[in-house]
Amino acid sequence: MVNSANAVEVRDLVVRRGGRTVLPGVSCRVARGSVTGLLGPSGCGKSTLLRAVVGVQVVASGQVEVLGLPAGAKALRSRVGYVTQAPSVYGDLTVREDLRYFAAVLGAPARDVDRVLREVGLQDHATSVVARLSGGERARVSLATALLGTPELLVLDEPTVGLDPVLRRDLWSLFAELAGRGVTLIVSSHVMDEAERCERLLLMREGRFLADASPSELRERTGEHDVEAAFLALVDREEAFA
């Protein structure tokens, strides 16, 4: 039975790709209304796990339940927002045209377009053709599409990569505000200093979890002063017992 306190439950998830086991049977839970950071180096399996959560990843075995339903269920389409690493918007449209299109697909109110433009700081680029924007600006357009409507779960795959420090700060403030409204966020990153902004951390390495803890619990457990040092300490301990 699904625990109503959890937005996501992953049990014994195995993913194989190209003859290689990417996820060897991982399990985790994500509490509703929280900001959970999925952190680890590039290539450790973060994106694969997120794709499984949104139901677009072929899995070998295991279960993934999202908001009480199997991942990828049709009923979840308007309840889950997903931002991929590569911007998934139309380059030949303007920012506003892209957002109007996705709002129509999602059945979101037309007024949401102006709201999400403000939230991601793109008001001044609303009439710009997406293909002419910088990489960071295109990433913000993708994030804006995920914010349309009233998603209960946001799955964000490295949404702050390539953004300047001020915008990164503003987006993390937005994430905290959304969580305060009851939205659940899973935010992946390989930038360890972003971990301090999360309520819960899932630290990954080579397809496995090294830790599932709050930043303070992680620091206490390792005796380190920041999350990056704690992560490295966990890696060193693992290697010492390998």
What is the extent of the structural domain holding 218? 1-78+190-242
Q: What is the mean pLDDT of residues 128-156?
A: 92
Look up the CATH number of the domain holding residue 58: 3.40.50.300
| Whether pLDDT at 187 is above 60 | yes
Q: What is the mean pLDDT of residues 127-147?
A: 92
Q: Look at residue 148 and tell me if it is in a domain.
A: no
CA dist., res. 176 & res. 188, Å (int): 15
Q: Look at residue 128 and tell me if it is in a domain.
A: no
Give 217's pLDDT tier (boundaries 50, 70, 90): very high
Using one digit for the tens of pLDDT, what is the confidence trace for 33-68?
999 999 988 889 999 999 999 999 999 999 999 999
Helix (H) or strand (E) holding 209: strand 208-213
Task: Report residue 50 CA to chain centroid gap.
Answer: 7
Q: Look at residue 20 and tell me if it is in a domain.
A: yes
Q: Look at residue 232 and tell me if it is in a domain.
A: yes
| Whether pLDDT at 167 is above 90 | no
Q: Look at residue 71 and tell me if it is in a domain.
A: yes
Distances (CA, A) of 22 to 40, 97, 187: 14, 37, 19
Q: Which of 175-179, 190-194, 196-200, 218-222 is least confident?
A: 190-194
Q: Look at residue 31 and tell me if it is in a domain.
A: yes
| Whether pLDDT at 176 is above 70 | yes
Structural domain count of the chain: 1
Q: Look at residue 167 and tell me if it is in a domain.
A: no
- How many CB atoms within 10 Å of residue 213? 18
What 3-state DSSP class applies to 65?
A: strand
Q: Look at residue 178 and tell me if it is in a domain.
A: no
In the numeric block, the tokens 């913000």 are attached to 140
